[in-house]
Chains A and B, each alone.
Chain A
Amino acid sequence: KAGVTQTPRYLIKTRGQQVTLSCSPISGHRSVSWYQQTPGQGLQFLFEYFSETQRNKGNFPGRFSGRQFSNSRSEMNVSTLELGDSALYLCASTISGVSTDTQYFGPGTRLTVL
């Protein structure tokens, strides 16, 4: 079956702009989590959505937001971009959102902020 897909794969924006990233989970998966990966900070949890509701949230400013649609597809939005937002943004899906479920990660969206 198809894996987790993320679009776009690469994105270049300038400071102050906003960006929307998309994640399509594996068919049948109801939980989608988002992570930011940078060389300095590693993998950091942003938030998790389950059945269109945000269940968990990491320690990121309010500029980072997300949503999940009824088909489980999720979007992540970053407003007023800063240079430090340059990162690989990964989404992961699980069947039921339980920690012991296998998390399947997408290939990520590489965001560069100039």
Chain B
Amino acid sequence: QQQVKQSPQSLIVQKGGISIINCAYENTAFDYFPWYQQFPGKGPALLIAIRPDVSEKKEGRFTISFNKSAKQFSLHIMDSQPGDSATYFCAASKGNFNKFYFGSGTKLNVKP
């Protein structure tokens, strides 16, 4: 049973467009939601993270939108660039424990 469901599996966006990746969770005990970016041959790298007490967090071109009642959160990449082409993972953890449940990943391809 996958604790965090991620969609879409793959995404093609034109340069300058907005990339949107969605995640949904069932366990209401989750209280920390990070997003990771992974390039081929590399480990995932933390992009941005959010706690459920806020509905939105923005860092540069990356924004997390969080809907606690719907148990959903999403990553928006504004002004997408070819260098953003990578696989993105959402994740969740609970109770301050360093144990994360990851989504299945979204492969983003930004066309020049």
Q: Please report A residues at the B interface, Cβ cutoff 8 Å.
A: 4, 31, 33, 35, 42-45, 48, 50, 55-56, 58, 90, 92, 94, 97-108
Contacts and interface: CB of A to CB of B under 8 A. Distances in A.
Given A42-B103, A43-B89, A97 B44 contact: no
A108 B45 CA distance: 13
Given A105-B43, A105-B44, A99 B98 contact: yes
B60 interface: no
9 residue pairs, one from A and one from B, having the closest CB atoms? A105-B43, A43-B102, A56-B99, A99-B93, A42-B104, A97-B98, A99-B32, A105-B44, A99-B96
A33 B98 contact: yes
B101 A45 contact: yes
B46 interface: yes
Contacts of A50: 98
B44 A94 contact: no
18 contacts: A33-B100, A42-B89, A42-B103, A42-B104, A43-B105, A50-B98, A55-B97, A55-B98, A90-B44, A94-B98, A99-B95, A99-B96, A99-B100, A100-B49, A101-B98, A104-B45, A105-B43, A106-B43
A43 B46 contact: no
Contacts of A104: 45-46
B98 A48 contact: yes
A55 B45 CA distance: 23
A35 B41 CA distance: 15
B42 interface: yes
Contacts of A105: 42-45
